[in-house]
Structure 1
Amino acid sequence: MMKFLFMIFFMIPLCFLKKMFWMVQMMMMLMMLMFMFLNINIMNFNNLSYMMGCDLISFGLILLSIWICMLMIMASENLYKNNYYMNFFLLNIIILLIMLYLTFSVMNLFMFYLFFEGSLIPTLLLIMGWGYQPERIQAGLYLLFYTLFASLPMLMGIFFIFYEYNYMIMYYFKFFSMNFYLLYLSMILAFLVKMPMYFVHLWLPKAHVEAPVSGSMILAGIMLKLGGYGLLRVMILFQKIGMKLNFIWVIISLVGGFYISLNCLCQVDMKSLIAYSSVAHMSLVICGIMSMNYWGFMGSYIMMIGHGLCSSGMFCLANINYERLQSRSLYINKGLMNFMPSMSLWWFLLMSSNMAAPPSLNLMGEMSLINSMISWSWLTMIMLILISFFSAAYSLYLYSFTQHGYYNMGVYSFYGGVSREYLMLMLHWLPLNILVLKIDYMMIWF
C-alpha cells in the first residue's frame, strides 16, 4: 500500500511544472490501472505495510477515489483555459487524494480519524477558492462546523477505546464488544453527519450548490462515502447495543429519505436537486448498515460505489449546462434536446441509473438494501415503496424538465459538447454498469 502513497507524493512536483495539467491526470489513470491489478483476498486485510492494509471495502473505495480525482481534473478544463490558479488546484486535488487514500487504507482508528478530518481541509479550499457565488464562505463554514461539532466526541470515544483495551487496530474489533451508550453515540454521530443523515444534512445542499464542479464531484463521489466506510468499520464493536438502539437511526433515515425525495420535486436549481437526491440515497445506506445483517452491509457497500459514480456524473452534466447557459435554474435550462441531442442520451443514461434501473450498481445495491430492511422489519416496506417511487419521480422530473419544452430564446450560440465531455460522462457511466458483471466480488466479502 505504501508504494501507491509514494506514487501520489511524487506527483506533487508535476503540479508546478508548465503544461502538466493533463499529465497529472494521465498519471492518475496509470495509478488507477496499477491499483486495479492488486490481488485482493476478499476475506482478510492484505497488501499490508506499516500501519496500512487493504481489504475489499477499502479496495473499492480507494479505486473510486482515484477514479473520481482523475475525472475532477478532466471536468475542470475551464480552470486550465483561463489559467485560474490551476497549479494550486492540482496540488489541492493531490493532497485530497493522499488524505482519502490514507483514510481508506490505514488500520489504526486514530490515524483514520486524523485523515477523515484532514480530507475536510482541501475540500474547504476547493469550495472557497474556486466556488462561483459569494455565499460559498457561508457554505464552507457550514461544512466545517457541522463536521467538527460531531467529530470531537468521536475523538474522545477513540481515546476511551484505547484506554480500555490498549489497541486501535480495526482488524481486531471483531473480538470485542463495547456496550456503552455514550461511546456508541459519540462514535456513530460523526459518521452520521458525514453521510449525511436527515436532520444533520443541511451542510450538504449548501456546500454542493456553492462548490465548483470538482468540489461537487468529490463531495458526492467520496466525502459521503467516508461516513459509510466509518460505520462499516466501527459497527462491529457495537453489536449488542446496536440491537437496542439502531432502530432510531433507521426510522429517522426512512422518514427523512421520503421527505427529502418530496423536497427534490420542489427544487428549481439543478445542483440542489442532485444534492438532495444524494441525501435520499445515503439514507438507504444508513438503514442497510444499521440493520446489522449481511445483506445490509453488502447492499450499502454496493450502493456507495454506485452512487459515487452516478451522482458525480450528474454533477458533471449539470456543470456542462452551466458552462453553456451560465445558469443552473431549471427555468432557463429547458429544451436542451434541441441544442445538444447527443448530450440528451447521457442525461437519460445517468438519470436511469440514478433511479436504479438495470444494469446499474444502484439497482443491485437497492435490491440488497430492500432485502435487508424487509427482513429486519416488514413495516419498513411502506417507506421503501415511497422512497423508490419518488426517486424515480424526481429523476424523471429533472430529465424531462431539462430536455423537453420550449428552449430559452436568450441562447444565441451554442456548441454541442466536445469529446472530453463525452469521454468524461462515459467514464462515469461505464464502470457503473459494467461492474455488475463482477458483482460476485461485492457479494461475498465477510
Structure 2
Amino acid sequence: MGLLSILIFLPLLAALVILLLPSSANGKAKYLALAAALAQLVLSGYLYVQFDPSLAGVNDVKSFQFVEQLSWIRLQIGSERLLEIDYFLGLDGISLPLIVLSAFVMLMAIGASWNMQKSVKGYFALLMLLNTAVMGIFCALDFFLFYIFYEVMLLPLYFLIGIWGGVRREYAAVKFFIYTLLGSVFMLLVIVGLYFSVTNPETGAHTFNMLHMMNPANFSEDAFFGWGQNFHEIFGIPARMLGFIILFIAFAIKVPIVPLHTWLPDAHVEAPTPVSIILAGILLKVGGYGILRVCIGIFPDIAAQTNWWLALIGVVSILYGAFNALAQKDLKRLIAYSSVSHMGFVLLGIASLTAEGISGAMFQMISHGFLSASLFFLVGVIYDRVHDRNIYSFRGLASHMPKYTVYVAIAFFASLGLPGFSAFIGEAFVIIGTFNSESVGTGIPRWMAAGGSIGILLSAAYFLWTLQRMFFGQTRLKGGESWATELTDVTPREQLVFIPALALAIVLGIMPSLVFTPLNEGVLRLVSMVSSFL
C-alpha cells in the first residue's frame, strides 16, 4: 500500500475501530480520531517535504508524484476490452497544498469537537469517513474514482448537519444535500460521455483516466466530446460547451458562487462549529479544485471561450457576498457571506487564465481555508458560553475577554487582506493576474480588477465595523450579570486549536514561497494548456 492510500484510508480504519468500541468506551473515540488526524498531518507534511517541484510533464503521469495505479475494474469480451477503471492516485503542485490544508483543518475540527456529548461514537466515525472522502477527491486521477469519493462526501456531511446541528438543522441538511446532489447527478452524465469519447492509447479501450482526457489526441474522431471540427451539438449548443457548463455548475455549487450559494449561510448557521470549520476550510476548496483540475484541465478550449463570463460571476460573488455580510446581525452568517465574497476571488483568479491569477486563486483557497476555520471556531467559542451569536447582543467584550479580543482582531485583520498576512498575498495576485489578463490576450477587462479591489475595501468595512460593535465601547451584554459571569476568556485547549492557524496566516504572509514553490509547475501546465486557445 502506497503513501497516498495510507493517507486516504487511515481515517476509514479509525472510523471502523471507533464503531467497534463498546458503549463504556465512548470517550476513547475522540482520542482515536485525534491520533488518525495527527498521523495524517504528519504524513501530508512528509509528502510536502519529499515533493520535487522541479519535475515537469505535460498532462501525463510524469507531472504527478507518489503515483499509485492498479487495475480495478475490467470488463472484456473476447479480445475487446469494454470497460477500464483504475485505482489511480497521484499528487501534483495543485493538489499537494490542498492535502496539507485538509489534514490541518480536520485536526482543528477534531479539537473543536472535544466537548461533544451527543452520540460521540457516531459523530467521530462520520468525521473520519468525511476525512477519507476529502483526501480521496484531492488524490484521485481516475474520474470514476473521483466521483465515488465526491459522492461519499455528501453522506457524512448530511448527517453531521442534520443530527448535530441547530434548530433548523433538518432544513439546512436537506437543502445542502439536494443542491450538491443536483450538480453531481448531471456530472455523472458528463463523466460517462467523456468515458465514451476517450481511449487509452496503450490498450485502445475507453477509459476514465483524467490524464488521458486532458490530451486531445486520445479523443476519437466521432467522439461525443470531440475537439475541433468533429463535434456534436445538443439543442444547438456544442457538446463540449454543454459538458463544461454542467461540470462548472456542479463545482460552483461547492465554491459557492452567486446564485448557487444559498445553501451555504443556512448550512453554516445550523451546523455545529466543527462542521462549519470543515465546510469553510475544506468543502469549498473541493469546488475550486474541481474547476481547475476538471473544467480547465479537460475543457481548456471552452475555458478560453467563457472566461469573461466566469470572471463576471466572480466579481458579482465578491461584491454580493460583501454587501450581504455588511447587512448581517448574526456573526456566523456574516462570516458565511464573507466566505462567498472571498471565494469569488478564487473564481476571478482562475478566470484570468494567467499564471499570476491562478496562483493567486490557489493561494487564496489555502489562506481562506485556515482563516475561515479560525473565524468559525472563534464564533463557536462565544456561542458555547452564552448560546447567542447576535452582534448587537454584545458590546465591550474586550473588558471581559481580552485574550479572545486579541485573537478575533488578528483573525479579522488577516481575513480582510492586511499586508503581512496570507490573504493579502492571494488577493493581490488575483488582482495582478486580472489586471494583466487584458494585455496577454485573455480578454478580461481591467474594470473587473477594480471590482475585486472594491470587495477588499468592503471586507475591511464589515470586519472592522463588527469589531467596533462587539468588542469596544461601554460594556453592554444582553444577558446582564449572568452573561458577564459566563463569558470567561479562552481556555488553553481553545488557544491550542486556533493559534497554529493564526500563526500560519503570518508565516505564509511573510513566506508565500512555501505554497508557490510546489504550486508553480501545476499552474504553468494549466496556463500552457489554455494559451493555445486564446
TM-score between both structures, scaled by the size of structure 1: 0.95
Cα distance in 1 for partners of 2:124, 2:41 equals 17
- 1:198·1:257 contact (CA, 8 Å) conserved in 2? no
Please tell me whether residue 12 in structure 1 is matched to residue 15 in structure 2. Answer: yes
| Structure 1: gaps (5+ residues) | none
1:162 matched to 2:181? The reply is no
Structure 2 Cα separation of the partners of residues 267 and 36 of structure 1: 38
1:236 is paired with a residue of what secondary structure? helix
Contact 1:298 1:442 in 2 (8 A): no
The residue that corresponds to 1:28 in the other structure is: 37
Q: Which amino acid aligns with 1:5?
A: I
Q: CA 1:430–1:413 in structure 2 vs 1: closer, same or farther (change >3 Å)?
A: same
Percent of matched pairs sharing the same residue: 28
CA RMSD of aligned residues (A): 1.7
1:6 deviation in Å?
Answer: 4.0
Q: Please identify which structure carries the higher helix content.
A: 1
1:441 equivalent to 2:517? Answer: yes
Greater alpha carbon shift after TM alignment, 61-70 vs 202-211 = 61-70
Any residues of structure 2 matched to 1:245-324 within 5 Å, and which? 245-324=306-385
CA distance in 2, matches of 1:349, 1:322: 19
Matched with 2:273 is: 213
Aligned to 1:384: 452
Tell me the SS of whatever aligns to 2:208.
coil
Report SS of the residue matched to 1:78: coil
**Matches of 1:30 and 1:102, distance apart in 2:** 16
| 1:91 aligned residue | 125
Q: How does 1:3-402 map to 2 (within 5 A)?
A: 3-16=6-19, 17=21, 18=25, 19-20=27-28, 21-38=30-47, 39-42=50-53, 43=56, 44-50=63-69, 51-79=88-116, 83-133=117-167, 135-165=168-198, 166-176=206-216, 178=227, 180-234=240-294, 235-376=296-437, 377-402=445-470
- Of stretches 187-196 and 2-11 in structure 1, the one that deviates more from structure 2 is 2-11
Cα distance, 1:33 vs structure 2: 1.4
Instruction: Report if the CA contact (8 A) 1:178-1:237 is conserved.
Output: no
Quick one: which amino acid aligns to residue 298 of structure 1?
S
Deviations 1:15-70 (A, max 9, x none): 24423223421332133113211211334211111311111222211211121111
Question: Structure 2: which amino acid aligns with 1:413?
Answer: T
Q: Which moved more, 1:357-366 or 1:435-444?
A: 435-444
Superimposed CA distance per residue, residues 393-418 of structure 1 (whole angstroms, 9 cap, x where no aligned partner): 11112222221133212524132121
One-letter amino acid of the counterpart of residue 418, structure 1: T
The AA in structure 2 aligned to 1:221 is G
State whether residues 108 and 498 of structure 2, in contact with CA within 8 Å, keep that contact through their aligned partners in structure 1.
Answer: no
Find the aligned partners of 2:262 and 2:504 in 1 and give their Cα distance: 30
Partner of 1:429: 502
* Cα offset, 1:324, TM superposition: 1.3
Aligned 8 A contact 1:268 1:331 in 2: yes
- Are the equivalent residues in 1 in contact too, given 2:52–2:518 (CA < 8 A)? no
One-letter code aligned to 2:257: M
Residues 238-261 of structure 1: CA distance to partner in whole angstroms, max 9, x if unpaired?
A: 222222222112112212321221
Alignment of 1:393-412 (within 5 A): 393-405=461-473, 406-408=475-477, 409-410=480-481, 411-412=483-484
| Residue pair 2:97, 2:515 contacting (<8 A) in 1 also | no
Q: How many residues align?
A: 442
- 1:111 deviates by 1.6
Q: Distance in 2 between matches of 1:266 and 1:140?
A: 24
C-alpha displacement at 1:184, in angstroms?
1.5
Instruction: Report if the CA contact (8 A) 2:311-2:448 is conserved.
Output: no
Query: Distance in 2 between the 1:429 and 1:178 partners?
Result: 46
The one of 473, 482, 485 aligned to 1:413? 485
* Aligned residues of 2:400 and 2:484 also touching (Cα < 8 A): no
Equivalent position SS for 1:413: helix
SS at 2:297's partner residue?
coil
Separation (CA, whole Å) in 2 of partners of 1:55 and 1:68: 20
Displacement after TM superposition at 1:182 (Å): 1.0
Go from structure 1 to structure 2 and tell me whether the alpha carbon gap of 1:252 and 1:161 turns closer, same or farther (over 3 Å shift).
Answer: same
The 1-side partners of 2:248 and 2:170 are apart by 28
Q: Deviations over 1:159-182 (max 9, x none)?
A: 111111123322334422857221
Question: 1: CA distance between counterparts of 2:44 and 2:453?
Answer: 39
346 and 48 in structure 1: CA distance in 2 versus 1, 3 angstrom threshold: same
Structure 1 178/291 Cα, relative in aligned 2: closer, same or farther at 3 Å?
farther
Change (3 A) 1:178 1:277: farther
CA distance in 1, matches of 2:359, 2:115: 39
Q: TM-score, normalised by structure 2?
A: 0.80
Answer with 1 or 2: which has the greater Rg: 2
Contact in 1 for aligned 2:105/2:277 (Cα 8 Å): yes
Note if contact 2:93-2:519 (Cα within 8 Å) is conserved in structure 1. no
Structure 1 residue 279: deviation in Å?
A: 0.2
Cα shift readout 1:73-124 (whole Å, capped 9, x = no counterpart): 1112231xxx311111110110000000111111111221221122111111
Q: Which moved more, 1:357-366 or 1:89-98?
A: 357-366
- Equivalent-residue separation in structure 1 for 2:141 and 2:519 (angstroms): 23
* CA deviation string 1:278-321 (max 9, x = no partner): 00011110111122221122111111010010001000000101
Distance 1:152 1:388 in 2: 35
1:320 and 1:107 map into 2 onto residues whose CA distance is: 39
Structure 1 segments, 4+ long, off by >6 Å, are none
Secondary structure of the corresponding residue to residue 445 of structure 1: helix
Q: Give the residue type in structure 2 aligned to 1:40.
A: F
